[in-house]
Homo-oligomer: A and B are copies of this chain.
Amino acid sequence: MATLKDVAERAGVTVTTVSRVINNRGYISEQTRKKVYEVMKELNYQPNELARSLSMQRTNTIGIIVPHIVHPYFAKLISNLESAAANKGYKILLCNSKEKNEKELEYIQMFKSNRVSGIVLCSRNVDIQEMKNQDIPVITIERNLEAGTVGIQCDNYQGGCLATEHLISCGCKNLLHLSGIKNENMPADARAEGFIAVCEKYGVRHREVMATSTIYNTLDYHEHIRKAIEADPGVDGIFASSDLIAAQTIQICAEMSISIPGQIRLVGFDDVDIARLTTPTITTIRQPVKEMAEWAIEFIQRSLDHEAVPEQFKLPVSLVKRNSS
């Protein structure tokens, strides 16, 4: 079986260069990378990443836990985490918790056994006990976890304010906020706080309707939305706490023969693909998901390098105007 040295000799480069190509670390010209891959193929060389990992007691792997892969927000987040990780030579282990705490604990145990370099947690808050005495950096995205290394979130309060100010500037006088679940102490709760603060500032009539965790887990808000609108048919502006809820609001309004944006103006949250795929398209609050993902990987790297990292890291959001408002 060919060795690293054989590959280096045949390719006319140093062993270090071959190692860098394999581990995708440091600068390597495209020409050298290509040459090394060609020789590896020629000699049928298969580097043993396992042996390397065992000697270092760490793999170039980042474990990710999300509640729902198919939820468009998490699909976008995973995609960006994968790109950011690949750019720094990491691969990702992906797990779907479906919001089950015991599944999360098993996954975290598995990540530890597999000596991952870091964990990105986008799922429900796991018992703090489990995360203590952890030598693996744990980055949370849009979750509160006391024992985590860095908590990354977007400025949810600012998002709630931007959405509400936009609806009021469009002339809305009777606002409804379709918020998420509330018993989980999530950063997203601040969206409702921003909504209420702006409504009170302008003296605008407003109401918040919260979802249950059952609805959140099925991702089906239709009946919930219908009831919320029926409870006050005079509503003329809706701030939905996700684009997914906004898309379903468009469907319910179509069924109820309520025109959007004619009779009700609608703003979502997240700016995921679905916001551009509905009819009308959805005005929304854009989370900087790409930047959040890049910082997550960056903070894992910095933690491993024993650099100081912030406990909380908040990124600004922006309003994206489309046809629903």
Contact = CB atoms under 8 A, between A and B. Distances in A.
Contacts of A86: 95-96
A49 B279 contact: no
A93 B96 contact: no
Interface in A35-89: 37, 40-41, 44, 46-51, 53-54, 57, 59, 61, 68-70, 72, 75-76, 78-79, 82-83, 86
A164 B79 CA distance: 34
Interface in A8-47: 22, 24, 37, 40-41, 44, 46-47
A114 B49 contact: yes
Interface string A239-276: 00000100110110010000000000000000001100
Given A49-B113, A53-B50, A94-B92, A69 B79 contact: yes
- Secondary structure dominating the interface of A: helix
A49 B110 contact: yes
A3 to B, nearest CB: 14
B79 A44 contact: no
A239 to B, nearest CB: 19
B277 A109 contact: no
Nearest to A76: B70
Contacts of A61: 93
Nearest to A24: B106
Interface in A79-127: 79, 82-83, 86, 91-96, 105-106, 109-110, 112-115
B109 A50 contact: no
A133 interface: yes
A48 B111 CA distance: 10
A75 B71 CA distance: 8
A74 B230 CA distance: 36
A301 interface: no
Contacts of A92: 93-94
30 contacts: A37-B105, A40-B109, A41-B129, A47-B113, A48-B113, A49-B114, A50-B50, A50-B54, A50-B59, A50-B113, A54-B54, A69-B78, A69-B82, A70-B72, A70-B75, A70-B76, A78-B78, A78-B94, A86-B95, A86-B96, A92-B93, A93-B93, A93-B94, A219-B273, A248-B277, A251-B281, A274-B277, A277-B278, A278-B278, A279-B279
